[in-house]
Structure 1
Amino acid sequence: MMPLAFDGSGVDGSLFTTVTGLARHTKWLNAPLDLWTNAGLGVFAVLMVVGWWNARRRDTHAMTLALAAPVAVVAAFAVAEAAKKMVAEVRPCYSMPHDYFVDACPARTDYAFPSGHSTTAFAAVAALWLVDRRLSAVAAVFALVEGFTRVYLGDHYPHDVLGAAVLALPVAYLAGRILGRVAVPLVSRLRAGVLNPVLTAARARAAH
């Protein structure tokens, strides 16, 4: 068995217990939030699709930022996965086995810090901030809900969610900004080529 490097229960285990205690007393909400914690990630994909759709009516820089958004989310997730392996924080179900858990306990090598679901959610917030701040605001609300569900279900400590936000926001923002600059010539060529109908709205094409 691999040695476990870090037990996060000493950081905010009492707060974790408070939230899982809420889950114990709201069992009618367990199944809906268990379903939402994974399905809800689709909301961020939909928001990025909306960002792309709207960018079809805007300039090439806006379209480049819209196309960069999912790449920026993947970049943040990759950094988070590397951090998980370095920190190697054991999941709460191993450190606090007597707490209430909605989700089944994962493998010991499926580490807790930072939360991967929360990383995806908050990375989408940062990436969409560069595309459309209204979409980013909507994403922020759903990201907070996503983070709450990760603790409610017993998958992560609160600091796992907070750490995901602290990591994902700047990484996704910087990745989006960099791609938004360096990829403009490529997107410009794609807009002028066979992908023009996908990257430019009919009205914008007519204006040219």
Structure 2
Amino acid sequence: MDTMDDDLYRDITGFAHDTPSWFQHLAEVWTELGLLLFGVLFIIAWWRARRGDPRALAVAVLAPLATAVAYVCSELLKSVIDEERPCRAVSGALKPLVECPAYGDWSFPSNHSTIAGAAAIGLALAWPRIAALTVPMAVLMAFSRVFVGVHYPHDVAVGLVLGAVLAFVVVRITTRPVARVGQAMRGSSTGIVKWFAGPGPALAPSPAADPAAYDSPTMTFRRHDSHRH
């Protein structure tokens, strides 16, 4: 029995076949080109963060790592759910614009969409102004997977959300310890390590995190001086 998702898949692939050939080729290329563009943006975000504080560097480095984590989780879900590709399973659907993936390369969730969602949010956390570019890029990449005929709409929708949520959680949970590592790298005597971390400012110490700071002569002097004024 057909489902609403099957109908939507047929509608989108039918629309795809009605578009000009140049647009179809553009959609085919975009499914892979989008990944390359995200990779370039990761490098630019890291390069910019090298002059920021260690927290900024940590988020920029974590963005691609969180995307990799999201991809692995997507692959694990695929191996458990085993959903057949719509280009084989949906009756009455038009031939996909690209070759239908081999049997065993399951459909749910979409790896491309998961990577796109994670990359978009990871980059937005590292470089907030670029969210206006990365989020539409991710949505278009996800849509292109249905457009070319290799995924159901729910595959790409879940992939986008899965990637976005995992990237946000991974970055938020690990930023502080990675920032400490970045601070240590900036003080390293190894050239390549110091170059990677960049010349940015050191991480400002928190007095609450370093109780000994209150016992230093400088801190004692400052407190007494403040009382005089």
TM-score bracket for this pair, using the shorter chain length: 0.7 to 0.9
Q: 1:199, CA displacement in angstroms?
A: 2.4
Q: Which amino acid aligns with 2:69?
A: A
The counterpart of 1:71, out of the listed 45, 49, 65, is: 65
Q: Does 1:122 align with 2:117?
A: yes
Question: In the alignment, which residue of structure 2 is the partner of 1:15?
Answer: 8
**Hey, what does 1:80 align to over in structure 2?**
74
Match of 2:98 in 1: 103
Is structure 2 residue 154 aligned with structure 1 residue 156?
no
Structure of higher CA gyration radius: 2
- What TM-score do the two structures reach when normalised by structure 2? 0.80
Could you give the per-residue CA deviations for residues 91-134 of structure 1, whole angstroms, max 9, x where no partner exists? 00111254221011111110111100011100012212321111
Deviation, 1:150, is: 0.4
Measure the CA separation in 2 of the matches of 1:62 and 1:92.
Answer: 42
Tell me, yes or no, if the aligned pair for 2:9 and 2:153 is still in contact at 8 Å: yes
- Give the drift of 1:10: 2.4
Counterpart of 1:197 in structure 2 is: 195
The aligned length equals 196
Contact in 1 for aligned 2:138/2:160 (Cα 8 Å): no
Q: Name the counterpart of 2:127.
A: 132
Q: Does 1:181 align with 2:176?
A: yes
Q: Residue type of the partner of 2:177?
A: V
Q: What is the SS of the residue equivalent to 2:126? A: coil
Matched, 1:53 2:47: yes
Deviates more, 1:148-157 or 1:11-20: 11-20
Residue 61 of structure 1: CA displacement? Answer: 0.8
Gaps of 5+ in 2: 202-229
- 1:160 aligned partner, one-letter code: D
Structure 1 length-normalised TM: 0.88
The alignment-based identity, stated in percent, is 34
Alpha-carbon shift at residue 198 of structure 1 (Å): 3.0
Out of 132-141 and 73-82, give the one that drifted further.
Answer: 132-141
Alpha carbons 1:23, 1:30 under 8 Å: kept: yes
The letter for the 2-side match of 1:56 is: R
**CA distance in 2: counterparts of 1:190 and 1:138, whole angstroms:** 31
The answer to whether structure 1 residue 146 and structure 2 residue 144 are counterparts is no
Q: Which consecutive aligned stretches of 4+ in structure 1 deviate over 3 angstroms post-superposition? A: none
**Preserved contact between residue 98 and residue 149 of structure 2 (Cα < 8 Å):** yes
Q: 2:29 aligns with which of 8, 28, 35?
A: 35
**Greater relative CO (CA pairs within 8 A, separation 6+):** 1
Which whole-Å CA distance do the structure 2 matches of 1:179 and 1:48 have between them? Answer: 18
Q: 1-side partners of 2:60 and 2:134: how far apart?
A: 15
Bigger mean CA offset, 63-72 vs 124-133 = 124-133
| RMSD of equivalent CA atoms | 1.7
